[in-house]
Amino acid sequence: KVMLYVNKVGPYFNPHETYHYYQLPVCRPNKIVARSLTLGEVLDGDRMAESLYELDFKVPVEKKVLCTVHLSEDEFKKLKVAIEDLYYFEFVIDGLRLWGFIGHLEEGGLIPHKHKLYLWTHLTFNIEYNGGRVMSANVTVTDGTALLLNDLVAPLDITHTYSVRWLPTNVTEREQAGSASAASGHAFFPQSLEIHWLSVLNSTVLIVLLLGFIGIILARVLRNDFARYNAMDSKAEMDVEEYGWKIIHSDVFRFPAYKNLLCAILGVGTQFLCIAAGVLLMALLSLFNVHNHGSMNTAICVLYALTSCIAGFVSSKMYRQMGVTSWVLNV
């Protein structure tokens, strides 16, 4: 018999935040028996315990019922929150760590917003062996039919099943059993840290180069213009028609032809800036609940309505400053 230990669960994008597997409403034995851990496993945050999975060496299993879990309203809500947070689980088979997701979150569309939660109720264990030794193992969750939770109402019963496939292999090198710290570099976990810093470095270098090129070009143009203007000492030279940036230096104070359009764009732009600032402030204050979907869309609509007066005020004030008396037409 090959022992399968359940270990821990946690959000996918934060592998360092983990909890005991049995803290979720899942199949569990009547008496939870914890496995004795080494000091390294304790420091890695392992919480191994025996499970209800029965794995006999080289004995295939096809869709065997593991248990039927009765979920109360609170347990059902806890399970959905775990799926929304992309919780993964970690099992240990013969010292080999296996990972998979508790469920699947499907989101799409803005209006209407599509939000579906699926629970994986069937697990398939694929175990490779060479002779009498387990060489590698993995678990897949896509072979079974996912259970859609949106249409279900607690209390309810959910049946979990599992399959076991034993695959012979000629591999002589056993997969790295590894510790939790070594497993963090596994392909299952996101490897975005190095890519993130590389992107920041590339963006920084690109911005510095662009600013440097623009600064060099402007410095050369302005240096030539200033040298030419300083050389005009006599009155006759001052009568020469000017050219360069000095010709348009007073155009910034000249009103445009379409004042109404400019003021309207300025007012709407100010309104959008206020909306963006309001959304960022609300996000920093943690006013958006990730489990209350559509709350950000609602906040944006409310802020858009409340900041309409800002757009009208800025637009009308600028229109009035341009010397137009009928500023009401620009509101």
Q: How many residues does the chain have?
A: 331
Residues 176 and 100 placed together within one structural domain of the fold: yes
The amino acid at residue 142 is T
CA distances from 119 to 80, 86, 123, 160, 255 (A): 9, 11, 11, 10, 63
Instruction: Give the pLDDT mean for 89-94.
Output: 91
Residues 28 and 152 placed together within one structural domain of the fold: yes
Residues 181 and 195 placed together within one structural domain of the fold: no
Residue 324 lies in a domain: yes
Residues 267 and 178 placed together within one structural domain of the fold: no
Question: What gap in Å lies between CA 29 and CA 50, rounded to an integer?
Answer: 8
Task: Tell me the percentage of the chain whose pLDDT exceeds 90.
Answer: 40
Residues 273 and 317 placed together within one structural domain of the fold: yes
Question: Residue 223 pLDDT more than 50?
Answer: yes
Residue 249 lies in a domain: no
Question: Residue 252 pLDDT more than 90?
Answer: no
Residues 150 and 295 placed together within one structural domain of the fold: no
Mean pLDDT of the chain: 83
Residue 246 lies in a domain: no
CA distances from 116 to 147, 151, 192, 293 (A): 10, 9, 26, 11
**147, 167, 187 — which closes off a domain?**
187
> Which one is predicted more confidently, 295 or 20?
20
Residues 148 and 261 placed together within one structural domain of the fold: no
Q: What's the per-residue H, E or C state across 292-316? A: CCCHHHHHHHHHHHHCHHHHHHHHH
**Which letter, b or e, does each residue of 158-189 get, where b requires 16 or more Cβ atoms within 10 Å of its Cβ?**
bebbbbbebeeeeeeeeeeeeebeebeeeebe
Q: Are 146 and 104 in contact (CB under 8 A)?
A: yes
Residues 83 and 155 placed together within one structural domain of the fold: yes
Instruction: Give the pLDDT mean for 181-195.
Output: 56
What domain count does the chain have? 3
Dihedrals phi, psi of 23, to nearest 5 degrees: -75, -15
Residue 248 lies in a domain: no
Q: Among 40-49, 85-94, 205-214, which range has the highest average pLDDT?
A: 205-214
Domain that holds residue 234: 191-240
**146, 163, 187 — which closes off a domain?**
187
Instruction: Give the pLDDT mean for 243-261.
Output: 73
Question: Residue 76 pLDDT more than 90?
Answer: yes
Q: What is the pTM of this model?
A: 0.62
Query: First and final CA of the chain: distance in angstroms?
Result: 79
Question: What gap in Å lies between CA 117 and CA 67, rounded to an integer?
Answer: 21
Residues 12 and 116 placed together within one structural domain of the fold: yes
Question: What gap in Å lies between CA 177 and CA 286, rounded to an integer?
Answer: 40
pLDDT class of 215 with cuts at 50, 70, 90: very high
Residue 72 lies in a domain: yes
Residue 247 lies in a domain: no
Residues 197 and 285 placed together within one structural domain of the fold: no
Here the tokens at position 191 are: 């490897």
pLDDT confidence of residue 182: 47
Instruction: Give the pLDDT mean for 290-313.
Output: 82
Residues 27 and 147 placed together within one structural domain of the fold: yes
Question: Residue 8 pLDDT more than 70?
Answer: yes
pLDDT tens sequence across 254-278: 777 888 888 889 999 999 999 999 9
Of 76-85, 136-145, 300-309, the range with the lowest mean pLDDT is 136-145
Residues 174 and 213 placed together within one structural domain of the fold: no
Residue 256: which residues within 8 A CB-CB, separation 6 or more?
262
pLDDT class of 29 with cuts at 50, 70, 90: very high
